[in-house]
Protein backbone atom coordinates (compact mmCIF):
# COMPACT_ATOMS: atom_id res chain seq x y z
CA UNK A 1 0.00 0.00 0.00
CA UNK A 2 1.39 3.39 -1.00
CA UNK A 3 2.15 6.02 1.60
CA UNK A 4 0.02 9.13 1.52
CA UNK A 5 1.58 12.35 0.28
CA UNK A 6 0.99 13.92 3.70
CA UNK A 7 2.71 11.00 5.47
CA UNK A 8 5.93 11.50 3.53
CA UNK A 9 5.68 15.27 3.99
CA UNK A 10 5.55 14.71 7.75
CA UNK A 11 8.49 12.30 7.73
CA UNK A 12 10.47 14.73 5.58
CA UNK A 13 10.70 17.15 8.50
CA UNK A 14 12.64 14.68 10.64
CA UNK A 15 16.39 15.12 11.01
CA UNK A 16 17.16 11.43 10.59
CA UNK A 17 17.09 10.38 6.94
CA UNK A 18 17.39 6.65 7.51
CA UNK A 19 13.71 6.17 6.64
CA UNK A 20 14.36 7.44 3.10
CA UNK A 21 16.51 4.52 2.02
CA UNK A 22 14.79 1.93 -0.19
CA UNK A 23 11.56 3.92 0.03
CA UNK A 24 10.14 4.14 -3.49
CA UNK A 25 7.25 6.40 -2.47
CA UNK A 26 9.72 8.86 -0.96
CA UNK A 27 11.71 8.78 -4.21
CA UNK A 28 8.57 9.70 -6.17
CA UNK A 29 7.70 12.39 -3.61
CA UNK A 30 11.10 14.06 -4.02
CA UNK A 31 10.92 13.85 -7.81
CA UNK A 32 7.68 15.80 -7.63
CA UNK A 33 9.15 18.42 -5.28
CA UNK A 34 11.78 18.91 -7.93
CA UNK A 35 9.34 19.86 -10.68
CA UNK A 36 6.51 21.68 -8.91
CA UNK A 37 6.98 25.43 -8.60
CA UNK A 38 4.78 28.46 -9.04
CA UNK A 39 6.34 29.80 -12.25
CA UNK A 40 5.75 26.52 -14.10
CA UNK A 41 2.14 25.88 -13.06
CA UNK A 42 0.67 26.29 -16.55
CA UNK A 43 3.38 24.08 -18.05
CA UNK A 44 2.75 21.40 -15.41
CA UNK A 45 -1.02 21.52 -15.94
CA UNK A 46 -0.54 20.93 -19.66
CA UNK A 47 2.19 18.27 -19.32
CA UNK A 48 0.42 16.21 -16.64
CA UNK A 49 -3.20 17.04 -17.53
CA UNK A 50 -3.87 18.66 -14.16
CA UNK A 51 -7.39 20.05 -13.63
CA UNK A 52 -7.54 23.84 -13.89
CA UNK A 53 -9.40 23.89 -10.57
CA UNK A 54 -6.18 23.01 -8.75
CA UNK A 55 -4.38 26.27 -8.07
CA UNK A 56 -2.04 25.74 -5.14
CA UNK A 57 1.42 24.21 -5.41
CA UNK A 58 0.58 21.58 -2.80
CA UNK A 59 -2.66 20.50 -4.51
CA UNK A 60 -0.82 20.14 -7.84
CA UNK A 61 1.98 18.15 -6.20
CA UNK A 62 -0.55 15.86 -4.49
CA UNK A 63 -2.40 15.31 -7.76
CA UNK A 64 0.78 14.26 -9.55
CA UNK A 65 1.78 12.02 -6.62
CA UNK A 66 -1.62 10.30 -6.55
CA UNK A 67 -1.34 9.58 -10.26
CA UNK A 68 2.25 8.36 -10.07
CA UNK A 69 1.21 4.83 -9.18
CA UNK A 70 2.90 3.15 -12.14
CA UNK A 71 6.39 3.20 -13.61
CA UNK A 72 5.25 4.77 -16.89
CA UNK A 73 3.96 7.84 -15.06
CA UNK A 74 7.14 8.07 -12.97
CA UNK A 75 9.20 7.79 -16.16
CA UNK A 76 7.17 10.69 -17.49
CA UNK A 77 8.23 12.79 -14.50
CA UNK A 78 11.89 11.86 -15.00
CA UNK A 79 11.69 12.69 -18.72
CA UNK A 80 10.12 16.05 -17.86
CA UNK A 81 13.01 16.81 -15.48
CA UNK A 82 15.61 15.89 -18.08
CA UNK A 83 13.84 18.05 -20.65
CA UNK A 84 13.68 21.06 -18.34
CA UNK A 85 17.16 20.74 -16.91
CA UNK A 86 19.78 23.02 -18.42
CA UNK A 87 23.47 22.21 -18.27
CA UNK A 88 25.70 25.24 -17.82
CA UNK A 89 28.57 25.82 -20.22
CA UNK A 90 31.39 24.06 -18.42
CA UNK A 91 34.16 25.81 -20.34
CA UNK A 92 32.75 29.19 -19.33
CA UNK A 93 32.71 28.16 -15.67
CA UNK A 94 36.33 27.00 -15.92
CA UNK A 95 37.32 30.31 -17.53
CA UNK A 96 35.82 32.18 -14.57
CA UNK A 97 37.52 29.84 -12.10
CA UNK A 98 40.90 30.43 -13.71
CA UNK A 99 40.56 34.13 -12.84
CA UNK A 100 41.26 33.21 -9.21
CA UNK A 101 45.03 33.21 -8.71
CA UNK A 102 45.08 32.93 -4.93
CA UNK A 103 42.76 31.01 -2.62
CA UNK A 104 42.97 32.49 0.85
CA UNK A 105 39.92 32.56 3.08
CA UNK A 106 39.12 35.67 5.00
CA UNK A 107 37.11 34.95 8.11
CA UNK A 108 37.56 32.49 10.93
CA UNK A 109 38.08 28.73 10.73
CA UNK A 110 34.42 28.21 9.70
CA UNK A 111 34.70 30.75 6.90
CA UNK A 112 32.56 33.34 8.68
CA UNK A 113 33.73 36.80 7.66
CA UNK A 114 31.31 38.52 10.02
CA UNK A 115 32.53 36.61 13.11
CA UNK A 116 36.14 37.25 12.18
CA UNK A 117 35.66 41.00 11.72
CA UNK A 118 33.70 41.35 14.96
CA UNK A 119 36.33 39.42 16.92
CA UNK A 120 39.33 41.25 15.46
CA UNK A 121 38.06 44.79 15.08
CA UNK A 122 35.23 45.23 17.57
CA UNK A 123 35.66 42.89 20.54
CA UNK A 124 39.44 43.34 20.62
CA UNK A 125 39.02 47.11 20.44
CA UNK A 126 41.24 47.44 17.38
CA UNK A 127 41.04 50.76 15.59
CA UNK A 128 38.88 50.35 12.49
CA UNK A 129 40.30 53.42 10.74
CA UNK A 130 43.84 52.19 11.31
CA UNK A 131 42.92 48.69 10.06
CA UNK A 132 41.21 49.59 6.79
CA UNK A 133 43.83 47.89 4.59
CA UNK A 134 43.66 44.69 6.66
CA UNK A 135 39.86 44.68 6.65
CA UNK A 136 39.79 45.32 2.90
CA UNK A 137 42.22 42.48 2.16
CA UNK A 138 40.33 40.05 4.38
CA UNK A 139 37.02 40.95 2.72
CA UNK A 140 38.43 40.65 -0.82
CA UNK A 141 40.01 37.28 -0.02
CA UNK A 142 36.71 36.06 1.40
CA UNK A 143 34.80 37.14 -1.72
CA UNK A 144 37.29 35.51 -4.11
CA UNK A 145 37.27 32.24 -2.14
CA UNK A 146 33.47 32.22 -1.85
CA UNK A 147 33.04 32.87 -5.57
CA UNK A 148 35.57 30.16 -6.41
CA UNK A 149 33.76 27.61 -4.22
CA UNK A 150 30.40 28.60 -5.70
CA UNK A 151 31.61 28.18 -9.28
CA UNK A 152 33.51 24.97 -8.60
CA UNK A 153 30.40 23.50 -6.96
CA UNK A 154 28.41 24.36 -10.09
CA UNK A 155 31.07 22.74 -12.25
CA UNK A 156 31.07 19.49 -10.28
CA UNK A 157 27.30 19.40 -10.04
CA UNK A 158 26.86 19.86 -13.79
CA UNK A 159 29.26 17.01 -14.54
CA UNK A 160 27.02 14.77 -12.45
CA UNK A 161 23.93 16.10 -14.21
CA UNK A 162 25.34 15.21 -17.63
CA UNK A 163 25.65 11.51 -16.76
CA UNK A 164 22.87 9.22 -17.99
CA UNK A 165 22.36 7.60 -14.58
CA UNK A 166 21.69 10.91 -12.84
CA UNK A 167 18.38 12.75 -12.58
CA UNK A 168 18.90 16.30 -11.26
CA UNK A 169 16.57 18.32 -9.10
CA UNK A 170 15.24 21.32 -11.01
CA UNK A 171 14.03 23.13 -7.90
CA UNK A 172 16.48 23.34 -5.03
CA UNK A 173 15.50 20.75 -2.43
CA UNK A 174 17.10 20.76 1.01
CA UNK A 175 19.38 17.73 1.36
CA UNK A 176 18.74 16.41 -2.18
CA UNK A 177 20.81 17.59 -5.16
CA UNK A 178 20.12 14.71 -7.54
CA UNK A 179 18.99 11.11 -7.92
CA UNK A 180 21.01 8.11 -9.02
CA UNK A 181 18.49 5.47 -9.92
CA UNK A 182 15.93 5.64 -7.11
CA UNK A 183 18.33 6.90 -4.45
CA UNK A 184 18.73 10.55 -3.55
CA UNK A 185 21.97 12.30 -2.80
CA UNK A 186 23.33 15.50 -1.35
CA UNK A 187 26.61 16.56 -2.95
CA UNK A 188 29.44 17.90 -0.80
CA UNK A 189 32.92 18.81 -1.97
CA UNK A 190 35.93 19.92 0.01
CA UNK A 191 39.69 19.79 0.18
CA UNK A 192 40.94 16.90 2.33
CA UNK A 193 40.78 18.54 5.79
CA UNK A 194 44.06 19.29 7.55
CA UNK A 195 42.50 18.18 10.84
CA UNK A 196 41.88 14.72 9.39
CA UNK A 197 45.41 14.44 8.04
CA UNK A 198 46.84 15.39 11.45
CA UNK A 199 50.44 14.11 11.58
CA UNK A 200 49.98 11.22 9.17
CA UNK A 201 51.96 10.81 5.98
CA UNK A 202 49.80 12.31 3.23
CA UNK A 203 50.62 9.85 0.45
CA UNK A 204 50.00 6.85 2.72
CA UNK A 205 46.77 8.39 3.96
CA UNK A 206 45.52 8.93 0.41
CA UNK A 207 46.12 5.24 -0.36
CA UNK A 208 44.22 4.29 2.81
CA UNK A 209 41.25 6.47 1.87
CA UNK A 210 41.14 5.02 -1.64
CA UNK A 211 40.94 1.48 -0.29
CA UNK A 212 38.68 2.22 2.67
CA UNK A 213 36.94 5.62 2.77
CA UNK A 214 34.79 4.80 5.82
CA UNK A 215 37.01 6.54 8.38
CA UNK A 216 37.07 9.79 6.39
CA UNK A 217 33.32 9.70 5.65
CA UNK A 218 32.50 9.18 9.34
CA UNK A 219 34.90 11.99 10.27
CA UNK A 220 33.24 14.36 7.80
CA UNK A 221 29.77 13.70 9.21
CA UNK A 222 30.93 14.06 12.80
CA UNK A 223 32.94 17.23 12.20
CA UNK A 224 30.47 19.20 10.11
CA UNK A 225 29.43 22.65 11.30
CA UNK A 226 26.45 22.73 13.64
CA UNK A 227 24.66 25.36 11.52
CA UNK A 228 24.84 23.08 8.45
CA UNK A 229 24.24 19.76 10.17
CA UNK A 230 22.63 17.02 8.10
CA UNK A 231 22.39 13.23 8.21
CA UNK A 232 21.22 12.81 4.63
CA UNK A 233 22.82 10.48 2.09
CA UNK A 234 25.89 12.28 0.85
CA UNK A 235 28.40 11.90 -1.95
CA UNK A 236 31.64 13.53 -0.88
CA UNK A 237 34.04 14.77 -3.55
CA UNK A 238 37.42 15.22 -1.87
CA UNK A 239 40.34 17.07 -3.47
CA UNK A 240 44.01 16.68 -2.57
CA UNK A 241 47.28 17.41 -4.34
CA UNK A 242 49.64 14.92 -2.71
CA UNK A 243 52.78 16.64 -3.99
CA UNK A 244 51.67 20.15 -2.97
CA UNK A 245 48.80 20.16 -0.50
CA UNK A 246 48.47 23.96 -0.49
CA UNK A 247 47.60 23.81 -4.22
CA UNK A 248 44.76 21.28 -3.74
CA UNK A 249 42.14 23.97 -4.34
CA UNK A 250 43.23 24.23 -8.00
CA UNK A 251 41.97 20.69 -8.70
CA UNK A 252 38.42 22.01 -8.35
CA UNK A 253 38.81 23.73 -11.73
CA UNK A 254 40.54 20.85 -13.55
CA UNK A 255 37.71 19.92 -15.91
CA UNK A 256 39.36 16.88 -17.51
CA UNK A 257 40.33 15.40 -14.15
CA UNK A 258 36.86 16.06 -12.74
CA UNK A 259 35.05 14.54 -15.71
CA UNK A 260 37.20 11.41 -15.83
CA UNK A 261 36.98 10.83 -12.06
CA UNK A 262 33.24 11.46 -11.70
CA UNK A 263 32.21 9.58 -14.85
CA UNK A 264 34.35 6.60 -13.89
CA UNK A 265 32.74 6.63 -10.45
CA UNK A 266 29.22 6.75 -11.93
CA UNK A 267 29.98 4.12 -14.59
CA UNK A 268 31.26 1.70 -11.96
CA UNK A 269 28.00 2.00 -9.97
CA UNK A 270 29.78 1.55 -6.66
CA UNK A 271 27.63 0.44 -3.75
CA UNK A 272 27.07 2.98 -1.01
CA UNK A 273 28.63 2.63 2.42
CA UNK A 274 26.45 2.29 5.52
CA UNK A 275 27.68 4.87 8.02
CA UNK A 276 26.91 5.18 11.73
CA UNK A 277 28.03 8.39 13.37
CA UNK A 278 27.46 10.49 16.47
CA UNK A 279 26.75 14.21 16.52
CA UNK A 280 26.03 16.24 19.65
CA UNK A 281 25.35 13.05 21.60
CA UNK A 282 22.82 11.64 19.10
CA UNK A 283 23.42 8.59 16.91
CA UNK A 284 22.62 8.59 13.20
CA UNK A 285 22.65 6.06 10.36
CA UNK A 286 23.02 7.05 6.74
CA UNK A 287 24.49 6.02 3.39
CA UNK A 288 27.40 7.67 1.70
CA UNK A 289 29.90 7.50 -1.16
CA UNK A 290 33.23 9.19 -1.68
CA UNK A 291 35.19 10.28 -4.74
CA UNK A 292 38.83 11.10 -4.07
CA UNK A 293 40.26 13.41 -6.72
CA UNK A 294 44.01 13.60 -6.38
CA UNK A 295 47.18 14.05 -8.35
SS3 assignment for 122-171 = HHCCCCCHHHHHHHHHHHHHHHHHHHHHHHHHHHHHHHHHHCCCEEEEEE
How confident is the model at residue 109, as a pLDDT? 44
How confident is the model at residue 143, as a pLDDT? 87
Q: What tens digit of pLDDT does each residue of 193-239 get? A: 999 998 899 999 999 999 999 999 999 999 987 777 888 999 999 99
Q: Which residues contact 179 (CB under 8 A, 6 or more apart)?
A: 27, 30, 31, 166, 167, 168, 169, 185
Q: What tens digit of pLDDT does each residue of 156-175 get? A: 999 999 999 999 998 888 88
How confident is the model at residue 15, as a pLDDT? 66
Cα–Cα distance measured from residue 277 to residue 187, given in angstroms and rounded to the nearest whole number: 18
Cα–Cα distance measured from residue 20 to residue 37, given in angstroms and rounded to the nearest whole number: 23
| pLDDT, block means (10 residues), the chain with 295 residues | 90 76 90 92 92 92 94 95 92 94 68 75 74 82 90 96 93 90 93 93 94 96 84 95 94 96 89 91 92 94
Cα–Cα distance measured from residue 9 to residue 30, given in angstroms and rounded to the nearest whole number: 10
C-alpha neighbours within 13 Å on the C-beta side of residue 138: 18
Phi, psi of 223 (to 5 degrees): -115, 20
Angle between helical axes of 255-268 and 132-162 (0-180°, round to 10): 40
How confident is the model at residue 102, as a pLDDT? 84
Question: DSSP per residue over the chain, as a string?
Answer: -PPPHHHHHHHHTSS--GGGTT-HHHHHHHHHHHH--GGGHHHHHHHTT--TT--SHHHHHHHHHHH--SHHHHHHHHHHHHHH-----HHHHHHHHTT-------SSTT--HHHHHHIIIIIT---SGGGHHHHHHHHHHHHHHHHHHHHHHHHHHHHHHHSTTEEEEEEEETTEEEEETTEEEEEEEEEPPHHHHTTS-HHHHHHHHHH--HHHHHHHHHTS-GGG---S-EEEEEEE-SS-GGGGGGGGG-HHHHHHHHHHHHHHTPPPEEEEEEETTEEEEEEEEEEEEE-
Whole-structure pTM value: 0.89
Sign of CA dihedral 87, 91, 96, 102: positive
Amino acid sequence: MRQLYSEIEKQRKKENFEWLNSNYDAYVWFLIQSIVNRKDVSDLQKEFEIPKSLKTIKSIAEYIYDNADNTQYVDKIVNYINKKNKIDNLDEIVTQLKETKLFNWGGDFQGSLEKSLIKKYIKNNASISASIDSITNETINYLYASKYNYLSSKLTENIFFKHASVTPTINKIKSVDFFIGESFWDLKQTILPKAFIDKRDLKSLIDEVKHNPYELIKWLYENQGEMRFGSENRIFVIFVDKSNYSESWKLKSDLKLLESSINKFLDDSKNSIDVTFTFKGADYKTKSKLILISK
